[in-house]
Amino acid sequence: MKKSILFSIAFLIAVVSFAQEKRDLKLNKDTNLIEVVYYHDNGAVSQTGAYTTDGKLQGEWLSYSKEGKKQVSANYDNGNKVGKWFFWKDATLKEVDYTNNAIAKVSEWGIKAPVADLN
């Protein structure tokens, strides 16, 4: 199961990263990180995050669907996967915990829609 999740994560990031046509880059002089925003072909934000000046992913990365719904929240430290990652898909939320750049734990929950007040 860990390999399947790892493959899915890598595939998602690779597809979204290379399929981008438009992006905005900005050097943050305070953090010395290159902040980037990638866009879907419809103009909606696809990903946000930052790179180190030597090209390694750093800090929080967020991925969104073409409709603007958050799909992934990921964290990097100098290119290494760290901390808690969250994946939203339909009515499911997956939490993947990383330790030493490897999956340490996976949790999954069903997300319930709010029930309308019938009174």
Tens digit of each residue's pLDDT, the chain (119 residues): 555 555 555 555 555 555 546 999 999 999 999 999 999 999 999 999 999 999 999 999 999 999 999 999 999 999 999 999 999 998 899 999 999 999 999 999 887 655 555 44
At residue 42's C-alpha, the angle toward residues 38 and 47, to 5°, is 20
The predicted structure's pLDDT at residue 88: 93
Cα distances (Å, whole numbers) of residue 104 to 31, 37, 81, 96, 101: 29, 29, 11, 8, 9
Helix, strand, coil percentages, rounded to 5, for the chain: 15, 55, 30
Is domain 2-110 given the CATH code 2.20.110 in the classification?
A: yes
Q: Which residues contact 14 (CB under 8 A, 6 or more apart)?
A: none
Tokens (6 digits) for 11: 């595939």
Delimit the domains of the chain by residue range: 2-110
The verdict on pTM exceeding 0.85 is: no
Bridge partners, 92 (sequence order): 89, 110
